[in-house]
Amino acid sequence: MTPGRGSIAALVAYALLSVPVRAETIQVTIDKLVFSPAEVNAKVGDTIEWINKDALAHTATATSGDWNVVIAPRQTGRVVLKKSGAADYFCKYHPNMKGRVVATP
Ligand SMILES: [Cu+2]
């Protein structure tokens, strides 16, 4: 028994639907009290991962209050972007440390 056109179409549709959503992880390094790159572009659903190379704790704190990530010395911290638009952030412990995430839908 050969599958009819309807079931082939259903299989194709299923294959398209089961492709995973392309969410990426974008890395920002913290080294000597500097976020690098200072500005990153991402999409809603992507993860921003901060890699702290310093021996000090840092935070990535959105000025909007939407997220606040504490990054322990020589550890990583992450946030999943839930909103589109530009988000400025800073480190609570070192307010001169500033960065920006621009998320497109
Ligand atoms: Cu800091």
Q: Kindly tell me the burial class for residue 62, based on how many C-beta atoms sit within 10 Å of its own C-beta (0-12, 13-18, 19 or more).
A: middle
Residue with tokens 């890699």: 51
Higher per-residue pLDDT: 87 or 7: 87
What sign for the dihedral angle of Cα 35, 39, 41, 42? Answer: positive
Q: What pTM was computed for the model?
A: 0.80
What is the model's pLDDT at position 22?
A: 80
Report CA(59)–ligand 1 centroid distance (Å). 6
Q: What is the pLDDT of residues 43-91, one digit of tens each?
A: 999 999 999 999 999 999 999 999 999 999 999 999 999 999 999 999 9
Q: How confident is the model at residue 8 (pLDDT cuts 50, 70, 90)?
A: low
Report CA(63)–ligand 1 centroid distance (Å). 15
Distances (CA, A) of 97 to 46, 52, 55, 92, 105: 22, 13, 15, 9, 27
In the numeric block, which tokens belong to residue 5? 């056109």
